[in-house]
């Protein structure tokens, strides 16, 4: 049983990629901050219209800026905050289920054996990403709140904003996504069709790459049945 739990911990960990903190500031009109905030508001509006979405995700984690482990999975979301994650690489049979407000998630190491299941606290390292992200921090609603909150609290000096063909790309200085304690930099690309992220790069204050997440093949409002989110 110990070896089984150890294997599940290793598999489940993949879920989910001397400086001074700038002072809190209000956003001024005509700045890149205000343009980014406008994009964030569009993201909020688009998310409110969603009943559900799914996308394919690839995450790459870095150690001291050197590319390390790769993971691929399909992420499903349905309001009110039902989550299902089906992994395809490197563990092709693992699925995790989570529902809003619950303190635990359900892990199926083998999707074709639903009777073989385990429950883990959302705070258990076994079901956090390599960077420490919890399953209840994985949805787009949480991410959009994170963007808006930091745009309103953290000075966006030297930021980047680019409206390209089909995408909007911007940089964000933010208190870290996991604990909200350390200042980091994020480069975020947003689909102008869905107003949802298609690429998120996370950097330390020293400009060292920590992780990259890419999202593709969004399906919006496909109306999956609730039982799809039950193990």
- Which residues lie below 8 Å from residue 210, measured CB to CB, with a gap of 6+? 17, 61, 62, 131, 184, 202, 203, 204
Cβ atoms < 10 Å from Cβ of 116: 12
Burial 55-70 (b: 16+ CB within 10 A, else e): bbbbbbbbeeeeeeee
Task: Tell me what pLDDT residue 31 has.
Answer: 62
- Give the model confidence (pLDDT) of 157-198 as tens digits: 767 899 888 999 999 999 998 889 999 999 999 999 999 999
Q: What per-residue confidence (pLDDT) applies to 178? A: 87
Comparing 19 with 58, the larger pLDDT belongs to: 58
Give CA–CA dist 66/200, Å, rounded. Answer: 17
Closest of 96, 172, 90, 176 to residue 128, by C-alpha: 96
Looking at the chain, how many residues does it have? 231
The DSSP element (H or E) to which 137 belongs, if any, is none
Over residues 114-131, the pLDDT tens digits come to 999 999 999 999 899 888
- pLDDT of 146: 96
Alpha helices in 17-166 (DSSP H): 32-49, 140-153
Domains observed in the chain: 2-229 (2.50.20.10)
**Is residue 14 over pLDDT 80?**
no
What is residue 33's predicted lDDT score, i.e. its pLDDT?
74
Q: Are strands 95-99 and 197-203 parallel, antiparallel or unpaired?
A: unpaired
What integer pLDDT is reported at residue 81 of this predicted model? 83
| Residue (of 188, 189, 186) closest to 167 by Cα position | 189
CB-CB contact of 190 with 39 (8 Å): yes
Q: pTM of the predicted model, to two decimals?
A: 0.84
196-214 pLDDT per residue, tens:
999 999 999 999 999 999 9
Closest CA to 119 of 231, 229, 16, 225: 231
Instruction: Report the pLDDT value the prediction gives residue 157, as an integer from 0 to 100.
Output: 75
């Amino acid at each position: 049983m110990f070896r089984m739990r150890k294997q599940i911990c290793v598999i489940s960990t993949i879920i989910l990629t001397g400086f001074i903190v700038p002072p809190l500031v209000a956003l001024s009109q005509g700045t890149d901050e205000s343009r980014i905030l406008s994009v964030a508001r569009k993201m909020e509006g688009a998310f409110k219209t969603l009943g559900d979405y799914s996308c394919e995700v690839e995450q790459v984690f870095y150690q001291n800026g050197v590319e390390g482990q790769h993971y691929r999975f399909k992420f499903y979301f349905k309001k009110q905050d039902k989550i299902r994650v089906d992994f395809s690489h490197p563990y092709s049979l693992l699925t995790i289920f989570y529902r809003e407000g619950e303190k635990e998630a359900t892990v199926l190491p083998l999707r074709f054996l639903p009777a073989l299941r385990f429950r883990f606290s959302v705070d258990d390292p076994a079901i956090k990403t390599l960077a420490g992200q919890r399953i209840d921090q994985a949805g787009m609603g949480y991410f959009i709140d994170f963007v808006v909150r930091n745009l309103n609290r953290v000075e966006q000096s030297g930021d980047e904003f680019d409206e390209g063909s089909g995408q909007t790309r911007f940089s964000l200085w933010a208190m870290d996504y996991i604990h909200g304690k350390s200042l980091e930099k994020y480069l975020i690309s947003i689909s102008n069709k869905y107003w949802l992220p298609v690429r998120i790069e996370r950097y330390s204050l020293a400009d060292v790459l920590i992780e990259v997440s890419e999202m593709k093949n969004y399906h919006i409002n496909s109306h999956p049945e609730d039982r799809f989110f039950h193990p």
